[in-house]
A and B are shown apart, each in its own frame.
Chain A
Amino acid sequence: MMNADLRRERAAATFQPELLTHILDGGADRTRRRKELEALVINDPDFQHEDLNFLSRSQRYEQAIRKSSLMVMKLREYGIADPEEIYWFKSFVHRGRPEPLDLHLGMFLPTLLTQATPEQQDRFFMPAWNLEIIGTYAQTEMGHGTHLRGLETTATYDPATQEFILNSPTVTSIKWWPGGLGKTSNHAIVLAQLYTQGQCKGLHAFIVPIRQLGTHEPLPGITVGDIGPKFGYDEMDNGYLKMDNFRIPRENMLMKYAQVEPDGTYVKPLSDKLTYGTMVFIRSLIVGDSARSLSRACTIAIRYSAVRHQSELKPGEPEPQILDYQTQQYKLFPLLATAYAFHFVGAYIKDTYRRISGDINEGDLSELPELHALTAGLKAFTSWAANAGIEECRMACGGHGYSRCSGIPDIYVTFTPSCTYEGENTVMMLQTARFLVKSYTQVSSGQRVTGMVSYLNDLSRQRIQPQHVAARTVTVRLNDPVSLVEAYKARAAWFVEAAAKNLEAELHRRSKEDAWNKTSVDLVQASEAHCHYVIVKLFTAKLAEISNAAVRAVLTELCLLYALYGISKNTGDFLQAGILTDAQITQVKQRVKELLAVIRPNAVALVDSFDFHDIHLGSVLGRYDGNVYENMFEWAKKSPLNKTEVHESFHKHLKPMQAKL
């Protein structure tokens, strides 16, 4: 039976959640297909197991391996081959959590496809496809992460035996973090500095066997293991790998592009831009993950806030739903709006990537730099915001949010590494900044730029000074998303110009690198402002595509909330840049609070539209039926500390102490 509060909330919604679900999925047929796949997993007894919260790390790893093996088999049995469908199936099986074969499926196999020669594909691809070879991708080292050129692992070519000799020369060069490396994989694609004929040729990829086929024991010269417990990722055996004069045949270097000939002659690759493609793709996935993880947290917090009653709003009346408190709405609804915004941004990047990657294969790389720059910044912007947002959702659930039964701690620890992996966020922001500054410089020298940075053209033409912008403030209409996009655009332009000018000023005083470092706080702000503009713009653009009036209305409210809340949190920028006046800022803040009340009746329906199955949500507080308290009690009874009624500590410690005192 459904909790009465939630039933009432759902009945009061002004739109049909299914219609919004279809928009998020990209069409009713996509929703149908997603639910088919979900049902395949949820109704399959092979994929059932105990609540992961009660399992040790080793048990969680074991469950994950078991499910991964079955998953690979069943994907093939069901003939699921579309990458998006594989992604869905995988996330249903693993309930949105990582698994030890992630790197095998997501990096090892694709890298073989893109970087191996036909001969190498013959040798490795089918065994890997059939999981006789399980591989991982070993790039990060203990002392080196985002800055790839700093990696220390060496691969020295020995023409006498036609082998590469792999070495981890220092402690800092030990490969550290790769998923599936610790216990699962028997091969790894290792990134190492290639030395041939006495010269370093930079980073290259090598296929390295690490464990004996058959016994799974590490090979001589290989030291491999698990890096120990982490914040999250319990089911993943992130590993270390140390190599001591470990020899592999020449043919194990991935040689589709660069090559080492038998005598040691090095043949350069044609273009090194190609590897950018993969990075762009993975970063675009992170933007989507930001949206999904934040959506899950919002679903839990908003449903629970409709079920939880606390304190007194009006004297003498029963305790109200905590969702009726303005402070609670203020905590949650902007995050809800953010989750929607990020969904649309994720979809946009995915579509753009598809379109451009078509061009890449045909040799047109002209759009790649902008997309690369944009995804770097958006990856950082969305993962930072989602990271903080998930945590706010948890806090909004009070004490019970702290229990693992809420599911949010798990979402948080699983998501938070996104701020670091695939490019540390600050470094990502600075990559975007480099592109912005470059575009600004182009404009200053009279060239025109295109794409999302085209607003810089106006800047150059009008030579707008902050005080002049003030003249335009009257034109900002607070109820019109299109007008708010303009305000964000003006802010981005103001920041980019300021950062570029500060950089220029520093350049008169010091070296290029020092000047860049001295300006980097400004540059990060410029990137953030640019990304914020792009997100408001894409959200606004999405509204025009929605045909159902009721859905469009509620999304418009969310879009306005997203844009206005962003202004209210960054009032300093809008004031200082002269985009908005004090009076307008006061109106913005007032309007934000009005929107909270407007969105309130649809809050539950808006999270229902994300359409997370209870099993996928993994939360007692966020259950669809809202029967929170009964189920918390049932859940707690399964806790390992409750296995026996009298804990062994009583006999071991308490009783002897009481006897002694």
Chain B
Amino acid sequence: MALLETHKYSQGSALGGVNPDLASERQTPSFSVEKLTALLDGGEENTRIRRAVVEAIESDPVFSRENQYFQSQNEKYEAAVRKAVHLQKKMHEMGWTENGPEFKYIYRALSGEVAFLLHTVFMRSISVLGSDKQITKWIPLATQYQLIGSYAQTELGHGTYLQGLETTAVFDIATQEFILNTPKISAMKWWPGDMGRSATHAVVFAQLDIQGKCYGVHPFIVQIRSLWDHSLCPGITAGDIGPKMNFDHIDNGYLMLQNVRVPRENMLSKFCEVQPDGTYVRRGSQQINYFTMTALRVALISHEAVIPLMKACTIAIRYSVVRRQSKLKPGEEEAKILDFQTQQEKLLPHVAAAYAFHFINNYLEDLFNRGYEEIQRENFDMLPELHAFSSGFKAMVTQYCASAVEACLRACGGHGYSLLSGLPSLCTRILASCIYEGENTILFLQTARFLIKCFMAASAGHPVPPSVTYLAAVKPGKCPAKNKFDFLSPDTYTEAYQHAAVRLISSTAAKLQDLIQSGVKKHDAWNECTVQLVQAVKAHCHYITVKNFAETVERLETKGGIQRIMKHLCDLFALHGIFSNAGVFLHDGYISGAQMDMVTASYLDLLAVIRKDAVPLVDAFDFTDKTLNSALGSYDGQVYQRLYEWAQKSPTNTQMNPAYERYLKPLLHKKLSKL
């Protein structure tokens, strides 16, 4: 509990210790908080390393986030650049390397508020798509920050659908150069991070044109700003795309190219090359590149969805035991709002979901590590399944977490709306994760294609990848539960989820076939089934998540009460899903009306059980106060005092009121005509 102790001294002591309402919640946890933290980190050693990284970053004033809620877009951008630059120095000082065990915790410790993330993507794309010669030339320059890169794919008029990009690169044999152009406004590159103000170079995706023939989208390294004075290069128009919901610290940019010439060697040519005479040569398999994109989606699940949800839960749960409102019993003091059943129902399922998604993320990471080994052995068999996993889970987890973070915000009433609660910025940031690296609906539909294909194969008796073998083992029947306790059996609810997933996939597949057989064109039939397909994919992912949670619980050690509390959370996660999607389970009578009442009863019972451990469960996420950066969620629970002191630091209070002299004074003194 060492780190937790330091929380108290770092901020709490100035405000008078831990709020008794919060302290009492920690007195009798049913499990060891420290052990659970270690479980989440994947071992005590990882916990130690993570805490050391967090400590090193948070004790360095350059990385402070204290004033971020008061900053303008310009100030936030500048701070992010300052931090990125300082980080290079810090890593050197601390002896952290990009392959070391500390590296993955740095981003977490900075809460992702740092510039040059696209620089990393720029480097990765050169490493993956570039020839050895290109790698030797560019990677050292980028590593040394002699140039700053961005990755320019998305256009104003085109996003997820890559073939639709309109930027052109025409090969000029005479000069051995590519001429890049933005032929119309919708072709302007739009959104790439670090491109608006920082980047000197970008990997630009454009339609390759050789002697009038289009060869599809290819990547080109294009210099956009002078390495000397940072002014824009000839033919380049670039700038910042303006204010967004969040990511103020990132200069998402636009880029317009007018007859910009780059040498032939600037087309990334590991897989495709244009020879001096204009001959187009394709070589090797692009599947490794495909794998990289897929892996990126999995990588963001933890940082951009699960961790933000854990933070939001920490803030909302701690605040809900400090906040008192209305009386539960006459004559008593006002009750903690977490004692209201409706508040428990708003928050506790999300705590359970945070754990469920943490475990599914572990599962996906393992799967991808195995996949990577196979691919290095040139075995690409797992690729379709990995792709389906990454798309479906990226979409499902980001969508769930985004709405759960918003629910946490709203569960904090009025104070949740203050930026000082930390919740609005978590909320607006996570919302972006539903769009980048593939818009969620499109990703769901990609997974749907995989599922339908597998379902057809399974029905025909062909072998299918392991995650979908359940599709072949269709067991009609009814849920066997006799009373509400039966629904606390993982077999019972896992089977219910499996049944629902199979039903939704098979009925949609049948409908698709019916439409096609009745003469509807294949693509029209697909479009007509997309709403159901999305529902089917969600059911599939939900099933896998529940199953994985239940299996994880089974493997946990029973010591320290960990397994018991995780079992409760697993039950809650599963029953919450049935309770909230009752129709799916009732539809074919798999679960009867009477059984649904049992589900509800067990579900509501669980809320009261988990309520007792709510605070230890979020304490186990082990976020420091500086990481949470929230007046409502700090470890000591001194909510109101902190809110009051922090508000006084707002520029609206520390600077004079310009509107008074100019407008209010004439107004109050009735000189309106002078306005």
Residues of A within 8 A of B (CB): 53-54, 56-58, 61-62, 65-66, 69-70, 73, 130-132, 134, 140, 142-147, 150, 171-172, 174, 176-177, 182-184, 186, 213, 216, 225-233, 237, 240, 308-315, 319, 324-327, 330-331, 391, 394-395, 398-399, 401-405, 409, 413, 416-417, 419-421, 424, 426-427, 430, 466, 511, 513-514, 517-521, 524, 570-578, 582, 585, 589, 593, 629-630, 632-633, 635-642, 645-650, 652-658, 661
Contact = CB atoms under 8 A, between A and B. Distances in A.
B432 interface: yes
Contacts of A430: 342
Interface in B321-352: 323-330, 334, 339-343, 345-346
A398 B441 CA distance: 10
Q: Which of B240, B334, B416, B646 has the most CB of A within 10 A?
A: B240
Contacts of A391: 406, 431
B466 interface: no
A641 B254 CA distance: 12
B672 to A, nearest CB: 5
B148 to A, nearest CB: 7
B651 interface: yes
Contact of B327 (A62, A176, A513): A513
Nearest to B535: A589
B331 to A, nearest CB: 10
The 5 A-B pairs of least Cβ separation, nearest first, read: A572-B582, A571-B583, A641-B240, A226-B652, A228-B650
A231 B419 contact: yes
Interface in B517-552: 521, 523-524, 527-532, 534
Contact of B230 (A140, A225, A315, A646): A646
A661 B341 contact: no
Contacts of B419: 228-231
Contact of B197 (A394, A574, A649): A649
Given A145-B325, A216-B665, A585-B583, A227 B245 contact: no
A308 to B, nearest CB: 7
Q: Which of B77, B148, B531, B664 has the most CB of A within 10 A?
A: B664
A489 B431 CA distance: 36
Contacts of B88: 657, 661
A237 B652 contact: yes
B641 A654 contact: no
B439 interface: yes
B662 A398 contact: no
A216 B661 CA distance: 10
Contact of A646 (B81, B229, B445, B528): B229
Nearest to A518: B341
Interface in B141-166: 144-146, 148, 154, 156-161, 163-164
Contacts of A132: 668-670
Contacts of B164: 309-311, 319
Nearest to B198: A654
A69 B156 contact: no
A574 B587 CA distance: 10
A639 B531 CA distance: 38
Contacts of A656: 85
Contact of A633 (B185, B251, B329, B530): B185
Contacts of A73: 672
B27 interface: no
B327 to A, nearest CB: 7
Contacts of B657: 183, 216
A131 B667 CA distance: 7
Contact of B530 (A140, A230, A326): A326
Given A62-B658, A582-B587, A639-B243, A521 B78 contact: no
Nearest to A577: B593
A324 B527 CA distance: 9
Contacts of A413: 424
Q: Which of B148, B185, B666 has the most CB of A within 10 A?
A: B185
A635 B242 contact: yes
B523 A325 contact: no
Contacts of B159: 310, 398-399
Nearest to B596: A576
Contacts of B528: 326, 593
A230 B78 contact: no
B175 interface: no
Given A66-B663, A571-B587, A641-B240, A653 B82 contact: yes
B230 A186 contact: no
Contacts of A513: 327-330
B325 A150 contact: yes
A315 B185 contact: no
Contacts of B658: 58, 62
A641 B197 contact: yes
A4 B586 CA distance: 47
Contacts of A403: 241-244
A521 B230 CA distance: 60
Given A146-B326, A319-B161, A524-B342, 17 more contacts: A61-B659, A65-B667, A142-B415, A171-B641, A216-B665, A228-B650, A231-B418, A309-B164, A310-B164, A313-B527, A326-B530, A327-B445, A398-B435, A402-B431, A402-B435, A642-B239, A649-B81
A142 B78 contact: no
B585 interface: yes
A314 B640 contact: no
Given A645-B231, A653-B82, A62 B662 contact: yes
Interface string B219-240: 0000000000111100000011
Contacts of B652: 57-58, 61, 182-183, 225-226, 228, 237
B258 interface: no
B418 A227 contact: yes
A23 B204 CA distance: 51
Contacts of A54: 242-243
B280 to A, nearest CB: 23
Interface string B338-371: 0111110110000000000000000000000000
A580 to B, nearest CB: 10
Contacts of A147: 325-327, 334
Contacts of A69: 663, 666-667, 672, 675
Interface stretch (B32-40, B67-75, B99-107, B457-465): B67-75
Contacts of A582: 587-589
Q: Which of A53, A315, A571 has the most CB of B within 10 A?
A: A571
Contacts of A639: 73, 239-243
B146 A633 contact: no
A636 B325 contact: no
A426 B323 contact: no
Interface in B402-440: 406, 409-410, 413-420, 424, 427-428, 431-432, 434-436, 439-440
Nearest to A325: B527
Nearest to A656: B85
A569 B251 CA distance: 40
A56 B75 CA distance: 12
11 contacts: A54-B242, A132-B668, A176-B643, A183-B657, A226-B650, A310-B160, A327-B441, A572-B596, A573-B583, A636-B239, A655-B230
B663 A308 contact: no
Contacts of A330: 530-531
A656 B85 CA distance: 9
Nearest to B585: A572
A602 B430 CA distance: 34
Contact of A326 (B145, B161, B424, B531): B531
A578 to B, nearest CB: 7
Contacts of A310: 158-161, 164
Contacts of A426: 342-343, 346
B69 A576 contact: no
Contact of A420 (B69, B330, B417, B420): B417
B196 interface: yes
Contact of A409 (B245, B340, B442, B649): B245
Contacts of B163: 312
A265 B587 CA distance: 66
